[in-house]
Amino acid sequence: MIDLSVDEEHDALRATVREFAREEVAPVIGDLYEREEFPYALVAKMGEMGLFGLPIPEEHGGMGGDYFALCLALEELARVDSSVAITLEAGVSLGAMPLYRFGTAEQKERWLPPLAAGTALGAFGLTEPGGGSDAGATKTRAVRDGDSWVVNGSKSFITNSGTDITSLVTATAVTGTDDNGRKRISAIIIPSGTPGFEVSRKYSKVGWNASDTRGLSFTDVRVPAENLLGTEGRGYAQFLSTLDEGRVAIAALSVGLAQGCVDESLTYAAERSAFGHNIGSYQAIQFKIADMEVRTHTARLAYYAAASKMLRGQPFKKEAAIAKLVASNAAMDNARDATQIFGGYGFMNEYPVGRFYRDAKILEIGEGTSEVQRMLIARELGLAG
């Protein structure tokens, strides 16, 4: 028998995060978004709630839960705001999880407890200015010099990399070449404040305005040899597996945004009158909201299916790509339709759907564009390219 229900523990978490999002995030996020201000107080509260440690074992300072719990939390946060949700997603999926998956006992002991507590944030340095989707074209280099790695290069669009509580960036770098000339890409932990490690000013972004996104540069950055994360030459493969997990999380965040569009549209349709009737009584609006609900429901099933395979230890690359593609499309389509339902008010930043519309587009780009997801799905189907 197929059971798509959520157990009591997960449901209790979902309810707790839903209340936090409505009572704590919703009243303040509009001003933070407009000022492009990072939500330090909200991050601290999420840390106290244990959200940053949801999939991290208790021995490393986490909650001992699973990745599906993180996905449920992201969905509920994104129903209200995506800047807060992406701060959590990147902090856990891209900051902490690579250390948990591939770190040594010493690395986990040093770095994971504050990351799991939300008192520190980690970042994931993969994308480069000239790379984009072609992450294998990494130009950043790390050269072994005695007991150190010396890193030179740059990264772009890195979330959580320049906050006051950012403790590290795990960056991919070329550490040599194989006999066939192929680059050996490794992952190296670079602590914040290391000499030669410079963080740019915040980007001026279309959306996610209350989150932290910056470019990075490394000029003769010297870190201890033991800061190598995982196996030398396996950094790219490690990060590909990290991205598979991250795509499930981004799908959950996308579902949250899509559901938020439904929530706001239902409320507005019941309150707004035109031509003597609430606009929700008109079939044009009813059908639009019905389509929005269908997209959201379908996308939720897609990420549930991917998360289920992931938690069972089964291959889930194709399912993660499907979930990310379907959910990001649903978020973008729902944001557009919600803005249309709100009319002129939908174009005003004071209304949540205005933020939703600005935040939705990046979901079709970040952690693998929609085109990359289609490429991955085709490969998993056995289509060569």
Catalytic amino acids? 367
CA distance 338 to 265: 6
Cα-only R_g, the chain:
21
3-state secondary structure of 174: strand
CB 102 within 8 A of CB 113: no
Give the whole-angstrom CA distance, residue 324 versus residue 318.
10
- d(CA 315, CA 226) in angstroms, rounded, equals 31
Q: What is the largest CA-CA distance in the chain?
A: 79
Residue that is written with structure tokens 């229900």 in the block: 5
Are the CB atoms for 141 and 87 separated by under 8 Å?
no
Which residues pair with residue 121 across a beta bridge?
Answer: 166
Please list, residue by residue across 27-36, b when 16 or more beta carbons sit within 10 angstroms of its beta carbon and e when fewer do. Answer: ebbbebbeeb
Is-contact 354 268, C-beta < 8 A?
Answer: no
Residue labelled with tokens 């991919």: 172
Q: What is the DSSP string of 32-62?
A: HHHHT---HHHHHHHHHHTGGGTTS-GGGTS
Residue with tokens 């010396």: 150
B/e letters for 91-114, b = 16+ CB within 10 Å, e = fewer, are: bbbbbbbbbbebbeeebbebbbbb
- Do 155 and 126 contact (CB within 8 A), yes or no? yes
**How far apart are alpha carbons 377 and 370 in whole angstroms?**
11
171, with CB counted inside 10 A (0-12, 13-18, 19+), is buried
Bridge partner residues of 173 (DSSP): 186
